[in-house]
A and B are shown apart, each in its own frame.
Chain A
Amino acid sequence: MTQIHVSTKINGDAVEFLCEAQETLLDVLRDRLDLTGAKEGCSTGDCGACSVTVDGRLVCSCLMLGAEAEGREIATIEGMAAGEVLHPLQQKFLEHAALQCGICTPGILVAAEALLEKNPDPTETEVRYWLAGNLCRCTGYDKIVRAVMDAAEQMRGA
């Protein structure tokens, strides 16, 4: 099967890869580039575990072909911390115990970061609706919402 050559940027680094036409961006990230932080929970865009941003826009990487990444800038959970320094959202998730099993956590963090870039001072309702596409089965969302709002407050003060 002929493979497609794609040049893109992931977490700030230039990346080239080959993929089959029907491979999703999630397949490429996980199986070709060893970026397994994005998770496959459903492959239908219903769970958000594979969330990444493409040119700054939050998307499900399971609903985008790898080939579409050509020339785009992609950000994944692996690029969220700056070296040793955690992003305030990551730190607040730890402090608030906002994860139990942790499978949804990368997607939720990527989604929450996209929210705070757009809206640094979200209400609880805004956080809940923004994150409605990120399923979490363990926490009941309570501590997740608290952690996002606390991180937002800290980031506004910074």
Chain B
Amino acid sequence: MVRVAIWGSLRAATGGRAEVEVEANNLRELLDRLAEAYPGIRPQIDRGISVSIDGLVYNDSWFTPIRPDSEVVLLPRIVGG
């Protein structure tokens, strides 16, 4: 199981929990499991989400491996100027 940190306004979809656990070995599985377990997260995933895994931010790479002890934090999709 991977522990995933959920930001404040997204906690409405996790029953207020700041951290949830899902079974995932990579980024794609993480997002799929999250959307299944917490359908309220789906609109934000559609709007765009970035995932910080052990301090590095990933936008799209599905098969980025996630270890059970990885620090995983959801972020709104990062853009730039």
Contact between chain A and chain B defined by CB under 8 Å: no
| Interface of A toward B, CB cutoff 8 Å | none
On B, residues with C-beta under 8 Å from A are none
